[in-house]
Amino acid sequence: MTGSALLSVRDLCVTMRQGRAAVPVVQDLSIDLDTGDALGLVGESGSGKTTTLRAIVRLLPAAGRIRDGQVMFGGQDLARASSRELRAIRGGQIGVVWQDPLAVLDPVIGVGEQIAETVRAHSRASRSGARARAQALMRQVELPDVGQTGRRYPHELSGGQRQRVVIASAIAAGPRLLLADEPTTALDVTVQEQVLMLLARLRAELGLALLLVTHDLAVVAQTCDRVAVMYAGRIAETGTVASVFGAPRHHYTRGLLRAAPRIDRPGVLPEGIAGTPAASAAARGCAFAPRCPAADDVCRTVTPALSGALSGALSGAGGHLAACHHPGSGS
Amino acid sequence: MSRYIAGRLAQFVLVLLGVTLATFALLHLVPGNPARTLLGAHATAAEVALLDREWGLSRPLPAQYADYLVRLLHGNLGTSIYYQVPVSTLIGRALPVTLAMLAVGAFFGIAAAIPLALLAAVRQGRAADHAVRILPLVGLGMPPFWVGFILLIVFSLTVRLFPAGGYGTTPAQHLESLILPGLTVAAVTTPILVRSLRLALVDVLGSDFVIAATARGLARWRVLVRHGLRNALVPAVSVLAVNLGYLLGGSVVIENVFGLPGVGSLLLTGIFNRDFDIVQSVTLIYALLVVLINLGADLAYAALDPRVVLGR
Amino acid sequence: MAGLALLAVIIGVVAAAPLLARHDPDQQNLLHVLAGPSGSYPLGTDDLGRDAWARLLFAGRADLAIGFAAVIAPFILGTVLGLIAGYLGGWVDAVIMRVLDIVVAFPFYVLVIAIVFALGAGVGSIFLAITAVAWVSYARIIRGEVLVAKRLGYVQAARAAGLSSPRILLRHLTPNVLGQAVIYAMSDIVLTILAVVTLGYLGLGVQPPTPEWGAMMQTGEAYLSIHPWLATAPGIAVVLTGLALSLIGDGLSAELGSS
């Protein structure tokens, strides 16, 4: 199964330098993504999900290091690729959609030019050719009046329009994989919906695989086929959306689902998860143990590995797995 | 936009008025009879009395100031006692020289500052960065004329590459004689420029859109120059403008060292000969230059950064 | 920090001038004019046969003393005006800022030179001229800090407690606002020393026969080809002093910035 995967992350370990110490923020993380597949990476702030995304394209902040593991993409290990190889892959094979579109666009250059420049970076297009392609892309992301809009500066557009520009430049060079880091978090609720639908449409039209990082379970449920739940730098549970959200096995996932307000169960109030999230990937034992209702001594001393029944007919990497010594049976 | 320019012009006029008031007051700061100051120590009592009556120097000060303003508006900047020609003629001849020198100096300064700042920003924390950061500390303490000496010793006296002074008569000679002074001007500007440009670059290079640009697969140099430098220039321009006053002042002594017939030398001649009209008028011209440059800098700032809305 | 160490060395050397100098700086020796560096005269002699090294040291006393002293008045004047402008706002602020605009319109050196010229050369004029021109930077900094501080908690609290304005100004605002001004003062001392030296070079500063770095450079200028040390050594002294002060300023701003 893994041999044919588009993206295959194996045992990734990332550390962040804090003062003199190198704190592990992602530990033994493995995920697979097939062509056209959509995987949601879910977790709270600090769970390491954004770090994972950035590690895939080797764009960690200055204090971050890939300590161990592989990031196999198209037969290459991105974790060990040269900068020249990376440059071709970034934008060309893997596109990134960021969280805050105002912060990721150059404030002094027109948006059309920024898209065109991405086109030129990955092809031999002329200036006018690139501009035409940029306009075509802007139409594809449903931006109105492309000639006019293309000449505008980022601060002159609305949040939704800006994010469409970011998406346009992410797909400009025809990538096979789209990494999205909280793409709708900075937007108004109504606009969120539109952008998510746009992403779904583009996926279908262009056959893109999608890795969507978010803390919002609803977004994952709407957009992704599969989901991986992260806690303290490790994957706690993974499987199809239906399976994980419908019958969660890890206690953290169950806590997350209980904490989300549900329209279809009006009488049931959301419950928080007791305690505070772990600061970094724990060395031994389950990181969630201090907050888990089912924790015991085994949990505190032995780090649980992902395991579980390959129940049902599932594509992608394995079935419904949970890293828990005493997984629930789902409810 | 036009409202902004109108507002700025009004401010400009106010400041100009104030400047003229200040230069006018200069004459009256000098202890003793203003007429005697203007005519010099060798004037006879009769000449002093004549000037006194002619220029109404015993009249109340506000009236004198009004007279002064009227004279200025007519373009009359007074007459040089030493040269016996209108000061405006002298300034007209000297100003282009000074402006040319400043232009050459600015060119060298920017040409040096950009690569140095880029180098330091890219190699943050390493040896190159520390070396570049020492530069402003040393540079700020260097007297401009002393730098001129060093350059003269090295390039003119030892190696005989450039003329030791003077301006020459042909444009080619002009340019040649502007190189060393230009370098000296650059030596004064570069430290300040490097410091603010480096800071701005470090700031910009850490921002999200630079990371995003790299994520789009853009070439490293393009990210650095097209996106990084372009954004860093914006705050650096305003710092440069603020320091321009200091720069103009330094040019006075630099002209002296290299014997360039610019307004700085004119000022000094006026001082040494106690030629008051020259001193007063040249000071006024300098102030005019500074105000114009500041206005230009504001406009440049707005042109560089589309987020700036003038006339808020 | 390195800056303090260097400055201490410089001040120490200069203060100990009488001990380190082998000859009287003012003593002329017309038989020994423009000599090159030698055992007895480490930097040679100037055009009147005086010991350049001794003159360098003694000039240091004059320049450093004036440089440090001349910063005090602008500092105080600028701080006071900045406090008033920032705190009171309104037309008081507008007037002070307009005056500031006018002063700023003149290049620093030009105005200083012009004023010294008008008043006559000498140390007193230098003080007056520099005070009249240099206060603006302090005023701007302090005013900016006050404007920020006005919004902060402790000013509102003091007002709510009914403290009178002058009291607020003195006891609460001033200590918090002075930090930036002190840092700037470090680089301002460098600028002031440069100004004193430049005035000396132009013959408008400290009058002979008192040795002064700028004046020494002026005499040395004529002899660049045969005796370059006369003109270059004082400049090196100025640069070193400037470096020391700048390092201190940098160190201070790192300290204060992090607190």
Residue-by-residue pLDDT tens, chain A, 331 positions: 444 688 888 888 898 888 788 888 888 888 888 888 899 999 888 788 888 998 998 888 878 888 888 898 988 888 888 888 888 888 888 999 988 888 888 888 888 888 988 888 888 888 888 889 898 999 988 888 888 888 888 888 888 899 999 999 899 888 999 999 988 888 888 888 889 999 999 989 888 899 999 988 888 888 899 999 988 888 888 888 888 888 888 888 888 887 776 666 666 666 666 666 665 665 677 777 777 877 777 777 777 777 765 443 333 445 788 888 777 765 4
Residue C207 lies in a domain: yes
Residue B17 lies in a domain: yes
Residue C25 lies in a domain: no
Q: Which helix (H) or strand (E) holds A144?
A: none
Subunits close to A (at least 3 CB pairs below 8 A): B
Choose among C109, C114, C190: nearest Cβ to B250.
Answer: C109
Please spell the DSSP secondary structure of A184-220, one letter per residue. Answer: TTTS-HHHHHHHHHHHHHHHHHHT-EEEEEES-HHHH
Query: Is residue B142 less than 8 Å (CB to CB) from chain C?
Result: yes
Choose among A106, A109, A121: nearest Cβ to B219.
Answer: A121
Is there a contact between C247 and C6 (Cβ–Cβ < 8 Å)?
Answer: yes
Cβ-defined contact of B212 to A98 (cutoff 8 Å):
yes
Query: Which positions in chain B touch A57 (Cβ < 8 Å)?
Result: 215
Q: Which two tokens stand for residue B286?
A: 């300098």
Residue C48 lies in a domain: no
- Candidates C159, C188, C168; CA nearest to C84 is C168
pLDDT at B128: 79
With cut-offs at 50, 70 and 90, classify the pLDDT of residue C29.
low
Residue B53 lies in a domain: yes
Q: Is C89 left (phi over 0), alpha (psi -120 to 50) or beta?
A: left
How far B218 CA lies from chain C's nearest CA (Å)?
Answer: 35
**Three-state DSSP state, A326:** coil
Choose among B141, B248, B268: nearest Cβ to C107.
Answer: B248
- The per-residue pLDDT for range B258-295, each reduced to its tens digit, is 888 888 888 888 877 777 777 778 888 888 888 788 77
Query: Which positions in chain B touch C141 (Cβ < 8 Å)?
Result: none
What letter would DSSP give residue A305?
Answer: P
Query: Is residue C42 less than 8 Å (CB to CB) from chain B?
Result: no
Residues B66 and B101 in one domain: no
pLDDT at B198: 85
Instruction: Find the closest chain C residue to B288 by CA distance.
Output: C105
Q: Which residues of chain B are modeled with pLDDT < 50?
A: 311-312
Residues B55 and B130 in one domain: no
**Domain around C84:** 64-258
Amino acid at C79: T
Query: Which positions in chain B touch A59 (Cβ < 8 Å)?
Result: 211, 214-215
Cβ-defined contact of B141 to C247 (cutoff 8 Å):
no
Residues B110 and B48 in one domain: no
Residue linked to tokens 């600015």: B106
Choose among C113, C191, C224: nearest Cβ to B149.
Answer: C224
Residue B267 lies in a domain: yes
- The per-residue pLDDT for range C54-109, each reduced to its tens digit, is 778 778 777 888 888 888 888 988 888 888 887 777 888 888 888 888 888 888 88
pTM: 0.74
Residue C221 lies in a domain: yes
Query: What's the total number of domains in chain B?
Result: 2
Q: Which two tokens stand for residue A221?
A: 């449920």
Residue B221 lies in a domain: yes
The CATH number of residue C107's host domain is 1.10.3720.10
**Three-state DSSP state, A250:** coil
Residues B56 and B186 in one domain: no
Residues B222 and B296 in one domain: yes
Residue C118 lies in a domain: yes
pLDDT at B29: 67
How far C154 CA lies from chain B's nearest CA (Å)?
Answer: 30
How far B128 CA lies from chain A's nearest CA (Å)?
Answer: 18
Strand partners, A22: A17
Residues B131 and B218 in one domain: yes
Residues B152 and B262 in one domain: yes
Residues B51 and B194 in one domain: no
Residues B30 and B124 in one domain: no
What ipTM was assigned to the predicted interfaces of this complex?
Answer: 0.75
Residues B51 and B106 in one domain: no
Q: Which helix (H) or strand (E) holds A296?
A: none
**Domain around B190:** 93-304
CA distances from A29 to A5, A14, A150, A239 (A): 16, 9, 40, 15
Residue B2 lies in a domain: no
Query: What's the total number of domains in chain C?
Result: 1
Cβ-defined contact of A108 to B231 (cutoff 8 Å):
yes
Strand partners, A321: A238
pLDDT at C14: 64
Is there a cis peptide before residue C209, judged by omega within 30 degrees of 0? Answer: yes
Residue C191 lies in a domain: yes
**Three-state DSSP state, A253:** helix
Residues B48 and B190 in one domain: no
Cβ-defined contact of B246 to C108 (cutoff 8 Å):
yes
- Pick A312 or C221 by higher pLDDT: C221
Q: Which helix (H) or strand (E) holds C55?
A: helix C52-88
Residue B194 lies in a domain: yes
Residue C42 lies in a domain: no
Choose among B149, B279, B287: nearest Cβ to C106.
Answer: B287
Query: Is residue B7 less than 8 Å (CB to CB) from chain C?
Result: no
Q: Chains A and B: how many Cβ contacts under 8 Å? A: 79
Residue C90 lies in a domain: yes
The CATH number of residue B212's host domain is 1.10.3720.10
pLDDT at C23: 60
Q: Which two tokens stand for residue C235?
A: 């400049």
